[in-house]
């Protein structure tokens, strides 16, 4: 208890906490996008429960990994060499998670645009079972949790700060889950944009797994630009609809 009080009196601890909370929330957005899109494929009565279970699992995994920080740090040590690239367990987990994300996003994009599957789109139709959705969410939770904890370890040595940052980020995810899922469900074009984001994130995970560092700022700047363009398209589309309704 005295250690925590002493830590709270250090200005640099508060700076580290604020920075880490922002980083954890940003990393959590990727996780939340996947949870929102996948849960929207379930029947209406199961969607909110799936989102809560998925986010709850993310919190459990992150806190569990924080309890094994010594083991997590060792995940960055090379264990195998493939095509001249030394890969650690973290690298292999990122590559596997990236491949899963690319496969999943590509599959859902195909289902969304294929006229033959028009009645089996992602929004409003149960394309997966509850158990299958939770398993897929758990896989991505694990990938994003390991990335999140390793980021936290690199920013501060204080476990207390990491715990507060993780709990805060997951709380933000929990509060934003239903509004984000509802927004995606009501705007079909947003589904394609969100899937494109997941495709980009998956590709980035694979690249980083092979040692190619992709600055997160570039990735999120591209995503923000795309979101702004889509927002302008939605604004223009709504303006046209209002004009057409007024002229009738």
Mean pLDDT (whole number) for 71-86? 76
Q: How far is Cα 175 from Cα 64, in angstroms, rounded to an integer?
A: 22
Asked if residues 193 and 230 have their Cβ atoms less than 8 Å apart, the reply is yes
In terms of pLDDT, which residue wins out, 58 or 148?
58
pLDDT in tens, 128-144: 688 888 888 888 888 77
Among 91, 80, 40, 33, smallest CA distance to 208 is for 91
In sign, the C-alpha dihedral spanning 115, 120, 124, 130 is: negative
Q: In this model, does residue 122 exceed pLDDT 70?
A: no
Q: How far is Cα 129 from Cα 178, in angstroms, rounded to an integer?
A: 19
Percent of the chain having pLDDT more than 90?
0
Query: For residue 161, what are its two tokens?
Result: 């700060």
Q: How far is CA 103 from CA 14, 40, 152, 203, in A?
A: 40, 18, 28, 10
Confidence at 118, pLDDT banded by 50, 70, 90: very low
pLDDT in tens, 229-244: 888 888 888 888 888 8
Q: What is the pTM of this model?
A: 0.65
Write down the mean pLDDT value for the chain.
77
Q: In this model, does residue 186 exceed pLDDT 80?
A: no
Asked if residues 41 and 121 have their Cβ atoms less than 8 Å apart, the reply is no
pLDDT at residue number 154:
61
pLDDT at residue number 123:
42
Mean pLDDT (whole number) for 89-101? 83
pLDDT at residue number 153:
65
pLDDT in tens, 1-59: 445 555 555 666 666 677 777 777 776 777 788 888 888 888 888 888 888 888 888 88
Q: In this model, does residue 99 exceed pLDDT 60?
A: yes
* Residue 158 φ/ψ region, left for φ over 0, alpha for ψ in the -120 to 50 degree band, beta for the rest: beta
């Amino acid at each position: 208890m005295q250690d925590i009080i002493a830590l709270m009196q250090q200005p640099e601890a508060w700076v580290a906490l604020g920075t880490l909370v922002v980083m954890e929330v940003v990393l959590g957005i990727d996780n939340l996008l996947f949870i929102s899109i996948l849960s929207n494929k379930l029947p209406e009565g199961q969607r909110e429960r799936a989102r809560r279970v998925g986010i709850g699992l993310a919190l459990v995994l992150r806190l569990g990994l924080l309890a094994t920080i010594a083991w997590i740090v060792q995940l960055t040590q090379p264990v195998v060499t493939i095509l001249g690239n030394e890969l650690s367990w973290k690298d292999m987990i990122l590559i596997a998670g990236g491949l899963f994300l690319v496969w999943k996003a590509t599959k859902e994009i195909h289902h969304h645009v294929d006229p033959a599957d028009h009645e089996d789109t992602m929004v409003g139709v149960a394309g997966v079972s509850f158990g299958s959705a939770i398993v897929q969410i758990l896989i991505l939770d694990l990938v994003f949790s390991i990335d999140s904890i390793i980021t936290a370890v690199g920013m501060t040595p204080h476990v207390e700060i990491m715990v507060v940052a993780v709990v805060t980020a997951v709380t933000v995810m929990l509060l934003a889950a239903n509004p984000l899922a509802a927004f995606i469900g009501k705007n079909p074009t947003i589904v394609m944009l969100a899937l494109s984001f997941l495709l980009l994130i998956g590709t980035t995970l694979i690249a980083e797994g092979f040692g190619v560092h992709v600055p997160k700022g570039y990735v999120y700047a591209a995503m923000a630009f795309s979101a702004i363009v889509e927002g302008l398209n939605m604004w223009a589309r709504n303006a046209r609809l209002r004009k057409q309704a007024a002229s009738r």
